[in-house]
């Protein structure tokens, strides 16, 4: 039996440094100094995506779902432990 060995981004097999993540996704490594920076970049990207989706008249439910994801990421990036 042939089993394909796929690397899943959601497993510990593919842990990358922030510098590697930045290079992989075309982000300036100087902009990604901490995981929190990644969340902030994601929030900004989602806001831009929502604007594009609204211009293209994407259905409102999809836009709202994306907005909720953005709000979640923002809340996580703006939170404290405890």
Cα gap 36→39, rounded to integer Å = 5
Domain positions in the chain are 12-77
SS3 assignment, position 40: helix
Is the confidence at residue 42, as pLDDT, over 80?
yes
Q: pLDDT at position 13, please?
A: 60
Range of lowest pLDDT (13-22, 32-41, 69-78):
13-22
Whether the predicted model's global pTM rises above the 0.75 cut: no
Rounded to whole angstroms, the Cα distance separating 21 from 27 reads: 8
- Give the per-residue pLDDT at 12: 56
């Amino acid at each position: 039996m042939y089993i394909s060995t796929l690397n899943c981004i959601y497993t510990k097999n593919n842990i990358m440094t922030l510098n590697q993540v930045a290079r992989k996704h075309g982000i300036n490594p100087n902009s990604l100094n901490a995981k929190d920076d990644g969340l902030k970049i994601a929030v900004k990207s989602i806001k831009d995506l929502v604007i594009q989706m609204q211009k293209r008249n994407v259905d409102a439910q999809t836009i709202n779902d994306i907005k909720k994801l953005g709000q979640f990421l923002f809340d996580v990036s703006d939170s404290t432990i405890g």
